[in-house]
Amino acid sequence: MSAGDYLRFLRAVKGGPTPWEVETATGVAAGDYRQIEQRYRSFGDEQDLTRLAPYFGVAPEDLIERHGWSRKDFSATLVEVQEADREIRFQLRNGEAIEGKVAWSDLGAAMLTLKDGQQIVIQRHFVDRWELL
Amino acid sequence: MEQDLWQIRRRKRMTIEELARNANIHPSLIKAYELGQRPIPAADLEKLAKALMVEPWEIKELSDPPPRGPSRYGGSESSSFGDEVPRQRYGTRETSAPRYDNDRPRFETERPERPRFDAERSSRFDSEAPRFDSDTPRPRYGSDAPRPRFDSEGGSRFGESSNRYGDSNNRYGDSGSRYGDSGSRYSSDSSRSRYGSSDASRSPRYDDGRRGYSSDIRDRDRGRDRDRDRGVRPMGRPLRKGRVQRRPQAGPARPSQLEHLKALVIRLELNGDEVLRMAGKPLSMLNRKEAASLLTMCQDMLAERKPPRPKGKRQRPYLPESVDEHELIYLTEVQMGKQDLHLTLFNGDKISGKLLGFSPYALTLTQPGGQELTVQKLAIAYYQLDRQAAEEAAGEPA
C-alpha cells in the first residue's frame, strides 16, 4: 500500500475528515494532502508525513516507509495480472487474504473473481499488500 | 602585401570592439589607428596582428582611413596627409567623392596596368569613392580643383566598374578633361549614357551634386557599415521592401522528429516502401522542413483512422486506473437488478440491503426494515452480491 492509500485508509479510520480539515489540523500546505493521497506518483516530503503521522496516530516511519511506494505500481500489477489471466492475493488491512483473478480494476476498486466463481469488489485503499500467485 | 588595419579587420569580420578585446587595446585607440590619426607602434602592431591572425608586416603602420564611416568614427578634423589639405569629415560628400590630384589623375597615366579596384572591393563598396593603393601618392582634393558634379546616374559607376578607369577610351584620363568644369562629362548626358545606362536601375542615386549621396542612400550605407562593425547579422535586419531576403537552408531533421516519425510509422503500420514513397527519400536524409511536413502527413493519416469521439462523453486520457466506469457499470447493474448487496466495512461490520443509489464516494442501501443508509466508500473494505443472487444473475442470458 502506498502512502497515499494508507493515508486514505487512516482518514477513513479517523472518521472521514476532509482533506481540508486534515491540512488545517496538521499545517500541511493547502492542497498538498489531497495530492499526497490521490497522486499516482509519490508526492510531498518526509516533513509532511511527519506532521500527518501524529494526527492519524501512527508512527512517522510507518508513513515514510510507504512514501516510495506508488499507486502506479499497484495499477501496473493489476493490469499485468488481468492481461496474463493470473491469480493474485490481496492482503487486506484487517488481516484477511483474498485470492482470485482480476476481472477489472479502476480508480477506486478492483474486482476479483474467486475460485468458487464469486465476485468481490475490493476497495483499493483496503489492500495492504499484494502478491502474484 | 600590407593592408590598412580596417581592411584586415573587416576581412576578418571583426568589430572594433572585438578586436580591441582580443588585442587588449582600447577601442578608441584602434579607431585612431584605422583613421590614420596615429601610426601603430610596434608593440600594438604585434598585438593587433595576433588578434587578427595575420603577420605584423601585413598591417600598415599608418592606415588610410576607410572611405566612409562618418558617424561611427565621429569624424576627425585633423589630417594625416598634410596640413594644407584639411581632412573632411567622413560621410560628407567630399569623402564619398573620388580624391584626385590637383592637376590630373595620376592613376591614369602612371599606373594604367593596375586596376584601382578589384572585383571584390568594387562589389563590397558599391557606390563608394575609388580607393588608391598605398604606393600611389594620394591624390589631393585640392581647393583649386573644382569638384565633379555628379548627376543622378553618372557618379554611380565609380563603385561598380572600376576597370573603366583604366580603360584607354575613357575620358577620365583625358588631359583635356577637368572634372569640375562646367562642361564636365560626368554630368553631361553623354556621360550618363556612357557610364550609367546599362546598370542604371542598380546604381545608387546621386543628388544634383550639392549634396553628393542622396540622404536615404547615405543613411542606408551608414547603417550597413554600422551593423557590420557591431557584428549584427544581416539576417537580423528587417526585410526591406523590394529585396529578396535569402532564407537559411533547412538543417537535417532533428532526432526528435525522426523518433516521432518512426513512432507514427509503427502506429500507422506502414512498411518501408510506403514510407519511402511518402518521404521521397530515406528518413535519415530528410531535412527539418521535410520531416515536419511528413510528420503532419502522418498525423493527418492517423487522425483519419481514429474513430470519431462520441459527443457529450467526457474525454479523459485512458490510464488503467484513471477510469472509474468499471465500478459504475457494476453498481448500475446491481441497482437495476435490485439485488442484495453485502458490504463489509473496514471495522468488520457487515451491512446488507438493496442498492438504492450511488455516487463516486458513497453507496445508499435500503435495508430490510426499509431504512435507507448511506455509506461512504472510504468506510467500505469490500462488497459483494448475495451468493445465490449472484449465481442467478450469472446464469441469466446476457
The reported pLDDT for the residue numbered B373 is 92
- Cross-chain residue pair A121–B322, CB shorter than 8 Å: no
Say if pTM beats, i.e. exceeds, 0.90. no
- What is the spatial distance between Cα B98 and Cα B120, in angstroms, rounded to a whole number? 18
* pLDDT means over runs of 10, chain B (398 residues): 87 89 90 89 90 89 76 40 40 41 42 45 42 46 46 40 40 40 39 40 42 48 53 52 67 88 88 86 87 90 77 60 78 89 90 90 89 90 79 53
Amino acid at B397: P
Domain closes at, from B159, B193, B228? B228
Pair (A62, A77) in one structural domain: no
Pair (A55, A20) in one structural domain: yes
Residue B121 cell numbers, joined: 572591393
Pair (A108, A63) in one structural domain: no
- Cross-chain residue pair B327–A109, CB shorter than 8 Å: yes
Q: What domain range is A53 assigned to?
A: 3-69
Q: What is the CATH number of the domain that holds A10?
A: 1.10.260
Number of domains composing chain B: 3
Q: Does residue B333 form part of some domain?
A: yes
* pLDDT means over runs of 10, chain A (133 residues): 83 90 92 86 84 93 80 83 92 90 90 92 87 85
DSSP B320-370: TTT--HHHHHHHHHHHHHT-EEEEEETTS-EEEEEEEEE-SSEEEEE-TTS
Q: b/e for A79-115, b at 16 or more Cβ within 10 A? A: eebbeeeebbebebbeeeeeebbbebbbbbbbbbeee
Q: b/e for B263-300, b at 16 or more Cβ within 10 A? A: ebbeeeebeeeebeeebeeebeebbeebbbebbeebee
Pair (A128, A82) in one structural domain: yes
* Cβ–Cβ < 8 Å for B93, B39: no
Q: What is the CATH number of the domain that holds B341?
A: 2.30.30.100
Residue B395: its chain A contacts at CB < 8 A? none
The reported pLDDT for the residue numbered A90 is 92
Q: Does residue B200 form part of some domain?
A: yes
Nearest residue in chain B measured CA to CA from A106: B321
Pair (B285, B371) in one structural domain: no
Pair (A60, A93) in one structural domain: no
- Cross-chain residue pair A122–B348, CB shorter than 8 Å: no
Q: Does residue B143 form part of some domain?
A: yes
Pair (B217, B277) in one structural domain: no
**Cβ neighbours around B89 below 10 Å, total:** 15
Pair (B85, B220) in one structural domain: yes
- Cross-chain residue pair A111–B319, CB shorter than 8 Å: no
Q: What is the pLDDT of residues B318-343, one digit of tens each?
A: 565 566 788 888 999 999 988 889 99
Q: Does residue B336 form part of some domain?
A: yes
**Closest approach of chain B CAs to the CA of A120, in angstroms?**
5
Chain B, residues 303-322, CB within 8 A of chain A, namely 319-322
The reported pLDDT for the residue numbered B219 is 52
Site from A34, A74, A121 to mutate, B interface, most B CB atoms within 10 angstroms: A121
**Closest approach of chain A CAs to the CA of B255, in angstroms?**
29
- What is the spatial distance between Cα A83 and Cα A101, in angstroms, rounded to a whole number? 10
Pair (B82, B195) in one structural domain: yes
Pair (B282, B161) in one structural domain: no
User: H or E segment at A56?
Assistant: helix A46-56
